[in-house]
A and B are shown apart, each in its own frame.
Chain A
Amino acid sequence: EVHLVESGGGFIQPGGSLGLSCVGSGFSFSDHEMNWVRQVPGKGLEWLSYISSTGNTQYYADSVKGRFTISRDNAKNSLYLQMSSLRAEDTATYYCATRTGGLVWGQGTTVTVSS
């Protein structure tokens, strides 16, 4: 069974940087494309970024392009999201997710950007 666990969330001031991690288990991580999706409290879902199974291809939402970087380490079954130039509107719960049929999600990690 696919299991994803995110970590790294926290409180950060505007303009700061933060790195999120996601560890996968119960599946062949290196064969799976991965994504980051976020949800503002009480609001909808926003896809942020995709990375191919090999890490060679990445896509980003316009809202984070140039500020966020997705990466992975298949040897560690790990996915990363490096976030910089953080803004108040980046405050959200961040999920890593992989598509089997639909998306399978981790439990999320919360990022709060505030002065």
Chain B
Amino acid sequence: DIQMTQSPSSLSASVGDTVTITCRASQGIDNYLAWYQQKPGKAPKSLIYAASYLESGVPSKFSGSRSGTDFILTISSLQPEDFATYFCQQYHSFPWTFGQGTGVEIK
């Protein structure tokens, strides 16, 4: 199985900050990587797919990039509605696997 190692597990940031979250795949997954945002009591919402493609309707403050087997989610100009948990997911091969999640909290 492909292991997705996500870091950090949590972070504290202020409104207006830019933050980055990283997922490292245990083997090559090409660009088969998605990022999700989840708020308490809600289902995850897709932000980014194919490593760097923004889902329709998702603001451009969210961006994704890849370097080898490392994938980065960048959130710029944090706003109160961005404080949530973020997950990565590989869909290169079954079983699909998720990162452990990163909780973004208000400092």
Contacts and interface: CB of A to CB of B under 8 A. Distances in A.
Interface of A: 35, 44-47, 50, 59, 61-62, 95, 99, 101-108
Given A102-B36, A104-B46, A46 B98 contact: yes
Given A44-B101, A45-B87, A105 B43 contact: yes
A103 B44 contact: yes
A35 B34 CA distance: 15
Contacts, number: 56
Interface of B: 34-36, 42-50, 53, 55-56, 87, 89, 91, 94-101
Q: Is the interface of A mostly helix, strand, loop or mixed?
A: strand
Max chain B C-beta neighbours (<10 A), residue from A44, A50, A99, A108: A44
B6 to A, nearest CB: 9
Contact of B34 (A50, A61, A95, A103): A103
A45 B95 CA distance: 12
B46 A102 contact: yes
Nearest to B93: A59
Nearest to B36: A102
Nearest to B34: A102
A101 B43 contact: no
A44 B53 contact: no
A97 to B, nearest CB: 8
B100 A101 contact: no
Contact of A61 (B43, B47, B55, B95): B95
A47 B98 contact: yes
